[in-house]
Amino acid sequence: MTATPACSIVMPCYNVSDTLPAQLDRLVPQLDLADAELILIDNNSSDETLALARSASYANNRIVVATATDGQGVAYARNAGVQLARSDRFLFCDADDLVSEQWVESMSSALDEDPVATGSLDVETLNDAELAASRGPARRPMFYGLFPIAAGGNMAVRRSAWDAVGPLNEDLPSLEDMEWSLRASLEGIDIGWKPEAAIAYRYRTDAAALWSQGFAYGRSRAPIARRLHEETGQRPSMFAGFRSWVWLALHLPFVVLPSKRPSIAWVAGNRIGQLAGSVDARFLVL
């Protein structure tokens, strides 16, 4: 493939040999229809991820495989993928989720109307019902109702908007998509909503992994809230997480039950992480 593709799909890959084949099965049939290239960025995987990615690229010349080894994390890998993109339209998805059958076309066409767009998340297909319920229903992502979020694993961006906002913040523990969306909002860049561009989103299942992820999520919210307050005067309520604290208090006695542990670990990690982030940022968000 030599002509400039209509869109470039950037997908970071880190130890996803179990889930990558299914995601490729969804994406590959869409590449020709949408005139898209798929850029797989292996970020120091220690399993068979890189071999699987290279095998896919041998079978389809619309798939580009590259390694990003000087840093670690999804923000770093996505930024590296953008550097390789040949199109002026970037689509982002993750290797452990499943895009819908019309995802590429839907996300690319969303950029006809808006400089940035995000789609819906199906949290039920790939996850345990109790864990999905503990993280709340899927809806348009917002930062406490104050600005829209372009979810990093289901996002489309025109190159002009990316250049105006800048790359993803590689220094945050997590929620780099929220921080990027805040900068887009401050630049006056609209984030469109394309609910038909759906992905099935996969949660982690191990309690320790959920705790770590939840802690990183929670710790990243306060600095984002502080930046929002400094720039606009707006801020989330200090007690915005009250319901989650109540949920945790009511469910904590059930932590002895293995089936309850994952959801409790997720909520507890978020709450404790948010306290830690509030101390770090000197900006209280409970």
- Tens digits of residue pLDDT in 158-174: 999 999 999 999 999 89
Among residues 205, 217, 274, which one has the least CA distance to residue 242? 274
Q: Is the pLDDT of residue 62 over 80?
A: yes
Distance from C-alpha of 57 to C-alpha of 39, rounded to nearest angstrom: 10
In the chain, domain spans: 7-200, 207-281
Class of domain 7-200: alpha beta
pLDDT in tens, 6-19: 999 999 999 999 99
Residue 203, C-beta contacts closer than 8 angstroms, at least 6 positions apart: 123, 126, 127, 128, 131, 132, 135, 210, 266
pLDDT in tens, 71-92: 999 999 999 999 999 999 999 9
Q: Can you give the pTM of this predicted structure?
A: 0.94
- Tell me what pLDDT residue 136 has: 67
**Mean confidence (pLDDT) of the chain:** 95
